[in-house]
Amino acid sequence: MRIILANPRGFCAGVNMAVDAVEQVLSLFGPPIWVYHEIVHNHHVVERFRSRGVTFVDDLDSVPEGRLVIFSAHGVSPQVREHAKRRKLRVIDATCPLVTKVHMEALRYARQGYEILLIGHKGHQEVVGTLGEAPATIQIVESPTDVADLRVRDPDKLVYLMQTTLSLDDAKAIVEALQERFPNIKAPPTDDICYATTNRQNAVRAIAPSCDMVIVVGSRNSSNSARLMEIAEAQNTKALLIDDVTELDLAHLTGNETILITAGASAPEDLVEDLVRTLHKTFDGAVEQCNLSRETVRFEPPAALRAIMRQRGDPHDPHSVQQDTPHAADEPGMYAGDIPLTTSSIPLKRSGS
């Protein structure tokens, strides 16, 4: 078996920042602490925190008045912020800065009199939060077929924005449909789909055609993980989305496959390690990492957390940042400490071709 690890994969800067915020709050205050919605969309991340005394809530009324609450990486609406103020909650906002950027764009365009077409999935927490910034001027567009039914006041005063975790291909199709119907529609000043989503999708798009199967490590409620599986399938490569190795039926593998392994932006690397270790041990799989891009994006911890750390005289630098760097071997030629690893930039052809 040939096992190819896509690089980059797994945690992005925004997820690192949000997860680290919960870790820091646990370290500073201990349990119980409350998080509004799942901090990130990964079952293992959430359950590990839950086992340590973190309570995830979907209603701020479930948080005792005056206590500390962390907002998840997906962002919240102004209405949620006001609710937190009314309950005198101490808020640490772990919203990904790239999501905040879309919120600010929505506010700016709404104030300038634009109608906003938000490309995204109805009900996704990120979309709900963005919609709340200007609900009277935002319409959600989920697919190209939605475009024909749109009703707008002024087609010359129109802009589109995007959920940060969309499929690049799906988003492109929707944008093309919008531009065909509304030729003067304005695009956002910079890409709304985040760099990590783009890089992980591009890696799968580049490597999947050379593989017999793609395994995406991630949870089913993770939008970016689901998109990785769909992109692999669009390359006519069989794809699986699994939370962890226990969901993989090894009996369906022969040991002669070339398998690409990647992970959604909210999936911890130890889950990838467990999968690689199992395949390596069961099928004597050769492990190779295919490097496609280098990520150096950095996000500071939430401002409220930095302030708390300064007030408490915490020895950690409150301006420290999380960085999503390329995954590397623990030492040259090794993965996870003891699995032989080679690296490449271009994957080989399918084992059966």
Is the peptide bond between 8 and the residue preceding it cis, with omega within 30 degrees of 0? yes
**Host H or E run for residue 200:** helix 195-207
Asked whether the beta carbons of 18 and 46 are under 8 A apart, the reply is no
Can you tell me whether residue 273 is helix, strand or coil?
helix
Q: How far apart are CA 32 and CA 265, in angstroms?
A: 27
Q: How far apart are CA 337 and CA 66, in angstroms?
A: 45
Own/partner contacts of 327-331, CB < 8 Å, gap of 24 or more, are: 327/5, 327/7, 327/8, 327/9, 327/10, 327/269, 327/289, 329/289
Take residue 82 and report the two structure tokens written for it.
Answer: 């006001």
Distance CA(309)–CA(5), nearest Å, equals 37
The token duo for 110 is 């709404």
Instruction: Say how many CA atoms lie within 13 Å of 269 toward its Cβ.
Output: 17
What residues does 4 pair with on adjacent strands?
260, 288
Among 38, 126, 257, 288, the active-site one is 126
Give residues with Cβ within 8 angstroms of 338, minimum separation 6. Answer: none
Task: Give the separation between CA 9 and CA 200, rounded to whole angstroms.
Answer: 6
Q: What is the CA radius of gyration of the chain?
A: 21
The burial of 255, by beta-carbon neighbours within 10 Å (0-12 exposed, 13-18 middle, 19 or more buried), is given as exposed
Inter-axis angle of helices 303-311 and 13-29, nearest 10: 30
Bridge-based pairing of strands 298-299 and 213-217 is unpaired
- 33-36/68-71 β-pairing: parallel
Q: Is 126 a catalytic residue?
A: yes
Q: How many CA atoms lie within 13 A of 206 on its CB side?
A: 19
Annotated catalytic residues are: 126
